[in-house]
């Protein structure tokens, strides 16, 4: 770990100003579960750490559930949101995606804003002696021809196939969440689906956030689909493992017919992955095993598997079918 200056921000404005003074070499820190980890690995080497935990004490630490939707302050801890009774009832996919992530210790620490921005767990990224375009642009991707069981099959590029490993983001992208930010150029709102960037030729650029721009809150619009929503996570271990494949799904049903559907995939893509293809197959139709399988086919039509992650295509498809049928069977 390199040396850094530590600064405890007093409020949002102070945090943004403190970061702006160091431009690209400043790093916000909240729970630290990702930042400290990657600093120890020498993957993140900030000059200055800006501690934003004080923000938890103001509006950015609050959860509000209204008829408009769900408002989550970015400094809310994962564990707090996972156990929130209104979220569990009205937005189960969010509670489940949080609950199935990491461990309770980590969920007690990690902020929701930090969770969204978590870095990939690709081993070739984490261990600095391997070539990695995301960590060191132009050095090559070790995973393309390497041990890539954990890697993505959707949204990949010849430069990077690292998986986005978060769970919560799949729920947010499925539910059309809006992210609010504060930055050197003022405040703005970003639709969740536009927050992360596909790796393309620049896998080192992971989001559209500007240097020094800080996520302050997340809004999830209410809708008839949020109560029948579900997060299914497939993994080798029963707990404390990143997804091999996961599905966030929300359904608005009229009997067996699907009025509306939202479907996102985790563990299989380079970014939080909304599957418009699968949704188009399902929307307006009777949801049964056959339709679910058709949607799953559509979701993975563009998959580009590699040597060791070929199974993610059938695994992801099976997960879609299972998640859809489990959501349909939910009692709400």
Partner 1 sequence: MQRDVSDLQSSEASEISAGMPFIPFASAPAGGASETEAVELSINGENYRLTLDPRTSLLDAIRDHAGLTGTKKGCDHGQCGACTVHVAGQRVLSCMTLAVMAQGEAVTTIEGLASPEGKLHPVQQAFIDNDGLQCGYCTPGQIMSAVACINEGHANDDDEIREFMSGNLCRCAAYPNIVAAVRQAKAEMERA
Partner 2 sequence: MLQPAAPEPRQNQGQPAPRIDGRLKVTGEAPYAADIPLNNFAHAVLVTSPISHGEVTWMDFSEAKAVSGVLDIVTYGDMSGVKAPKYSNSTSTSLAPLHQKTIVHDGQIVALVVADTFEAASQAASLVRMTYAEQPASATLDSPGTETIPAAGVSPMYPEDLKAGDFEAAFASAPVQIDAEYATAPETHNPIELFSTTCAWTHDQLTVYEPTQNVYGFKAEIAKQLQLDPKNVRVVSPYVGGAFGSKGPMTPRTAIVAVAARRLNRPVRCVVTRMQGFTTTTFRAETKHRLRLGASRDGKFLAFSHEGTELTSRIDNYVVGGVDTTSRMYAYGAVASKVELVKADRQTPGYMRSPPETPYMFPLESAIDELAYKLDMDPVELRRLNDTHKDPISGKPYSSRSLMECYDEAAKAFGWSNRVKAPGSMRDGDWMIGWGCATAVYPTHVGAATARVRLSADGTADVQSASHEIGTGIRTVAAQMAAERLGLDITAVQCEMGDSDHPPAPVAGGSNSTASVCSTVLKACEGIRRRLFEAAVRSNDGPLVGKPIADLDLKNGEVVAKDGRSQKLSDVFKILGAGMVEEYAEFVPEGAPADAVHSLYTGKSTFVGGSHGKKLMYAFGAEFVEVRINARTREIRVPRMVGAFAAGRIMNTRTARSQLMGGMIWGMSSALLEETQVDPRNARYVNRELQDYLVPVNADIADVEVILVPEVDDEVNPAGIKGLGELGNVGTNAAIANAIFHATGKRIRHLPIRLEHLLEN
We find the least distance from the C-beta atom of residue 65 to partner 2, in angstroms, to be: 29
Q: Which of 212, 188, 185 is nearest to 18 (CA)?
A: 212
What whole-number distance in Å separates Cα of residue 12 and Cα of residue 18? 10
Q: Which two tokens stand for residue 304?
A: 């580009």
For residue 103, with 0-12 CB atoms within 10 Å meaning exposed, 13-18 middle and 19 or more buried, which class applies?
Answer: exposed
- The residues facing 154 across adjacent strands are 269
Beta-sheet pairing, 26-29 with 48-51: parallel
243 binds partner 2 (CB under 8 A): no
Binding range to partner 2, per CB under 8 A, among 21-29, 68-76, 218-226, 230-238: 230-238
Q: Which of 43-49's residues contact partners 24+ apart within 8 Å by CB, and which partners?
A: 43/119, 43/125, 43/126, 43/128, 43/135, 45/2, 46/4, 46/22, 47/4, 47/5, 47/22, 48/4, 48/5, 48/6, 48/7, 48/18, 48/19, 48/21, 48/22, 49/4, 49/5, 49/6, 49/7
Which residue among 38, 124, 192, 231 contacts partner 2 (CB under 8 A)?
124
Query: H or E stretch including 8?
Result: strand 5-8
Tokens of 216: 């302050």
Shorter beta-carbon distance to partner 2: residue 1 or 21: 1
Number of residues that bind partner 1 (CB under 8 A): 27
4 binds, among partner 1, partner 2, none (CB under 5 to 8 A by kind): partner 1
Question: With respect to partner 2, which residue has the nearer C-beta, 15 or 244?
Answer: 244
The span of 73-81, 180-188, 271-279, 310-318 binding partner 2 (CB under 8 A) equals 310-318
**Smallest distance, partner 2 to C-beta of residue 112, A:** 21
CB 190 within 8 A of CB 217: no
66 forms part of the interface with partner 2 (CB under 8 A): no
Interface with partner 2 (CB under 8 A), residue from 191, 221, 302, 314: 314
In the window 63-122, what residues touch partner 1 (CB under 8 A)?
A: 79, 102-106, 108-109
| Contact status: 328 vs partner 2 (CB under 8 A) | no
> What binding mask, one character per residue, do residues 219-248 give for partner 1 by CB under 8 A, x or -?
-------------------xxx--------
**Minimum Å distance from CB 272 to partner 1?**
22
Which residues sit at the interface with partner 2, rule CB under 8 A? Answer: 1-3, 40, 42, 121, 123-124, 126-130, 142, 145-147, 149-150, 234-242, 244-245, 310-311, 313-315, 318-319, 321-322
């Amino acid at each position: 770990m390199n040396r850094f200056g530590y600064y405890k921000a007093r409020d949002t404005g102070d945090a943004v100003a403190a970061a702006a003074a160091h431009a690209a070499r400043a790093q916000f820190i909240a729970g630290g579960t990702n930042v400290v980890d990657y600093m120890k690995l020498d993957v993140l080497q900030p000059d200055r750490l800006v501690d934003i935990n004080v923000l938890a004490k103001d509006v950015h630490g609050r959860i509000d559930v209204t008829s408009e939707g769900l408002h989550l302050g970015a400094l809310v801890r994962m564990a707090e949101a996972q156990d929130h009774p209104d979220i569990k009832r009205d937005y189960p996919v969010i509670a489940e995606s949080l609950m199935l992530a990491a461990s309770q210790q980590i969920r007690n620490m990690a902020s929701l804003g930090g969770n969204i921005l978590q870095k990939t767990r690709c081993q070739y990224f984490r261990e600095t002696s391997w070539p990695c375009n995301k960590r060191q642009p132009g050095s090559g991707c070790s995973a393309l021809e390497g041990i890539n069981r954990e890697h993505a099959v959707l949204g990949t590029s010849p430069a990077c196939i690292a998986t986005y490993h978060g769970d919560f983001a799949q729920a947010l992208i499925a539910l059309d969440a809006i992210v609010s930010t504060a930055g050197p150029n003022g405040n703005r709102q970003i639709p969740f689906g536009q927050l992360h960037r596909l790796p393309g030729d620049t896998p080192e650029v992971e989001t559209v956030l500007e240097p020094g721009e800080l996520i302050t809150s997340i809004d999830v619009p209410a809708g008839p689909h949020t109560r029948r929503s579900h997060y299914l996570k497939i993994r080798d271990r029963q707990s404390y493992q990143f997804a091999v494949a996961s599905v966030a799904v929300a359904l608005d049903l009229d009997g067996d017919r699907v009025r509306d559907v939202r479907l996102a995939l985790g563990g299989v893509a380079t970014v939080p992955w909304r599957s418009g293809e699968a949704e188009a197959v399902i929307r307006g139709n009777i949801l049964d095993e056959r339709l679910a399988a058709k949607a799953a086919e559509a979701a993975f039509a563009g998959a580009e598997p590699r040597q060791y992650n070929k199974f993610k295509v059938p695994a992801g498809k099976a997960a879609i079918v299972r998640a859809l049928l489990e959501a349909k069977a939910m009692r709400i």
